[in-house]
Amino acid sequence: MSLPRHLRAFTAAAVATVLTLGTAQLAAGAPPAPTSASTTSTASAASVVAASAPLLPTDEQLRAALLTTAELGPDFTEVPVDPNPSPEAGASPVAGCDALRALLNRNPSGASAQGPHQEAQFDGPDGSPMVTESLSAEEASRLDADFATVSGAFADCHSITFTDNTGAAVTFSVTPIALGDRAGAPAVRLDGDLAGVRLNGYLGIERLGEVALAYGYFQRDSDDSQLASLYYRAAVAKAERTLGVKAGATAGSPGTATGSPGTSAAPGSAV
């Protein structure tokens, strides 16, 4: 028995939104267009900011920082991620948790300022457990706002219901937890039941400089958090090594390592 299809739809929705973070910033938050009188000074200021801002990691560097089957173990298989999912593959109808629901129902297709982004999904035997990871890079102030939005949505959510197009529904209780070693990293545990089948999941986000790491772990017929926490720590540790940034660090903070991005540890050493 594989993981229920609507739980996979929920996973896709959660990962595509919570883990991508800033892809769909509201246009209302953008600064107003400069008038002709201010164009020169605005351009000069922008050039100074651009010159001083650190370069974002590339897609290739983010890809190298993701977990692989070599780190998760031989029971896992990587599942190709559809870069252009059809509307049918999007979020299931969601009830409860207004802030999180708004994020899950948000359509990122109109975003023009999407930065480098890579994601991976892995299935265990018969589709359970399922591990998802996403790395997204964007300018620091935008990431600050996006990270705060998702953190708030996690904190304010206590129960959320997903319904697929057949009418099957599953309600998850949502509980704040600590997935990793760093205090304050936003994470939640989800527990639900579908026709007597126990469903359990974990979502966590982490900040590494100008990169957001988003993680999901979903399983059937178990509520043991040990592997969920183990793989989360592995994901954070590998991203730290590969990108040269400590978890929790913001751009330019003391947590930023001096090594150049793209230096990866040997496969298998994260777990």
pTM, entire model: 0.74
Count CB neighbours of 91 within 10 A. Answer: 20
What strand order describes the sheet that includes 130-137? 77-79, 117-123, 130-137, 211-220, 197-208, 187-194, 169-176, 159-163, 94-95
**Better pLDDT: 191 or 84:** 191
Look at residue 19 and tell me whether its pLDDT is greater than 60. Answer: no
CA–CA dist 158, 100 (Å, integer): 10
Task: Specify whether the CB–CB gap between 123 and 9 falls below 8 A.
Answer: no
Q: What is the mean pLDDT of residues 57-80?
A: 94
| Predicted pLDDT of residue 243 | 95
Look at residue 189 and tell me whether its pLDDT is greater than 90. Answer: yes
Look at residue 65 and tell me whether its pLDDT is greater than 90. Answer: yes
The two three-digit tokens of residue 24, written as one number: 């769909």
Q: What is the pLDDT of residues 244-269, one digit of tens each?
A: 999 888 765 645 443 344 433 333 33
85 — pLDDT class (breaks 50, 70, 90): low
Count CB neighbours of 29 within 10 A. Answer: 8
| Predicted pLDDT of residue 261 | 43
220 - beta bridge partners? 199
| Predicted pLDDT of residue 92 | 56
Mean pLDDT of the chain: 73
Q: What is the pLDDT of residues 121-155, one digit of tens each?
A: 999 988 889 999 989 898 888 888 888 888 888 88
Percent of the chain with pLDDT over 90: 27
